[in-house]
Structure 1
Amino acid sequence: MSQLDTPRLPENASDLRSLYRAAEARAARLRVLVEAGQVLAGATPETLDAAVCEVARAAAHLAGYESGRVVEDRPGEAGDDNGLIFPLTSPGSDVTSPGALVLEGRRSAPSAEDREAVAVVCQLIGASLSARAREARLARLLGELLRGQEIERSRIAHELHDGVAQNAAALMRRLELASDGDPADLAKARDQARALVRELRRVIAGMRPPVLDDLGLVPALQHLAAEARASGMAIALEIAPDPGHRPPPAIETALFRIAQEALNNARAHAGPDVHVTLRLAYGAGRWRLSVRDDGCGFDPDAGRAAHDAGGLGLAYMRERIELLDGCLTITSAPGAGCSLLAEVPAA
């Protein structure tokens, strides 16, 4: 073995003490990291805040501070002579980790290794908080979806009862009257049968218009605008420019449902004589759907719950677009109408 390969031996008691302290420091850092991971992994959503407080205190003591706590909206690493702030991070998460870890009451200056260990603790905390936020978001989305399904089922049930069922009952009665072969009764029965078929097609189109699957988003929006005009709404449809190709099915469905929900909201909340502009555009690799009305408007924060009461809701619309890596922007104010813009990347 060469002289370079020979490990250096401690020369005196001072060297031994330094090696011992370094080993103890490494062991302490490892112990804090292992225990932090165990505490956070074993926490439930209800006990996570208490677990975070426990881990924050342990990280503070490791770094030479009297106390540690997690606060919200304190990005960046900063501090003063008595404190230090570490941002919470969550690598690979699509949910922004809130806040930062604040260490206060410095008793000794942390080493570079201590700072690295605290940064790892911040990743553990950030990942746990992000996971809880993601679970809460999914639970909220599921609740919106179930509520939307119940609203849709209720709407379809009313339409079937008030339209299809009534027409079917009238047709049955007319067929009974036409059992003697009276030409007038038979003609009326044919007319009622045609009306029943039209009513069934209208209900089916309300659930999912066949034109969306057969011809695509642009014809489906044209059909939607025509139905809105037939109901008395003043609506302008703009395709600018005509993309000349269809978006993927998931994007078609999401944009159509958002347009449908936006028109329903305008009809229910914007007030009488509302004018609506529905616009679809494609450019720079993104699909853009905008719906603007000149109605009474609303406060997007204070009025959100009431505005959502009659449909799938703005929160559900936003979640649906974000699942496609897009974004939904809603601008409104009392007396200033409402503007909705959905943007989705083409692929």
Structure 2
Amino acid sequence: MTRPPLELLAARGTDLLVRVVTAACAARELPELAEELAGLVVRSAEALTFCDVYVLDEDDRALEAPGRPRVPLGDGDAGWVAAHGRARRHADGRGVAIPVHGDDATTIAVVDVRSAGPCREEDVALAAALAVLFAPVLSSCRRLRAAKEREHAAERFAERAVEVQEAERSRLSREIHDGIAQRLAGLGFHLSAAERALPDHHPEAAEQIGLARRLCELAAAETRAAIGGLRPPVLDDLGLSAALATLAREAGAARLDVTVTVTGELENALPDHVQTALYRIAQEAVGNCLRHASATCVDLLLEHDRDRVRLAVTDDGVGFSIRDVFAPGRRPGSYGLRGMAERAELLGGRVSVTSRPGGGTTVEAVVPVPASRRRGPETGRGDAEGVSLPARRGR
């Protein structure tokens, strides 16, 4: 009768059990755990000279082992064992491939051992016992690997989505600059020339040409502002902090006092697409203060925490009723807020709005920092009526 794995290992002495526990707890990620298990098998056996631990890939189509070529399912001894879920001895009798089964009895890995001569049954039994004990740890590592891959895929998708959006904004900016802006500049030149060439005895015509020239200048100024809003050069050249400072200065020209506070190593920690999304959220929030809030002061706070970045835009304006703005069939003023929520949600974050009539408004965006760029403090919140926005369009 086959002895249980723990009993078989315990018969080898407590030193082996200590090594098993140490290996299982020390390396929790692939491929390090596979290497540790392979080394443990060889060190613990009496006559095994080599061991490879192959782990099934994410698609369940091939086996992967540190420093070894991928083995498609069904190929060779290890591939056959992965496909059939049963142990198989090498044709020369000097090795055996042993399946490692997961929680649902499917094969998740293969322990492939070899020896200088015919494999001893005691060593094969030891390798099989270690495979049983390490099965839950390998399963956990595979799930962790899959979760990390999904996280990285989501980060790549968000980065690509923001890149596409910004590329389109850049294209529109160039087209407006090279098309409409140039036409307006030419029109302004000709209107000025017509105004100068008009005889003095046509005051009404001169007045109309002057009005047309001023409207042309206003349209040209609005066009330049639109170009700057589509893709602010300072964001590319100097980063998020400088772009927010520029946004504050531009709002100051419209008599809105914007104070910017930035904490944390933002430029070092945040990838470009996250900085771009946060700038767009701040831009929309400050724009709402100018268009709707009748505010005089705005506090813009950007905090970089250990695993997230928080943007809060707080104004002293008239505020509004959350229920009224987001009630079905009511005013469509929430589209800008929905756009901010979509940007944050694309990055795995969220946007919340806190406001009440006469009490000002706070728009807060919290975005996770990509796992590969994590570092450092945190902060609190206000207490007015609030709502966390789902990122869906319209009503």
TM-score range, shorter chain: 0.3 to 0.5
* TM-score between both structures, scaled by the size of structure 1: 0.44
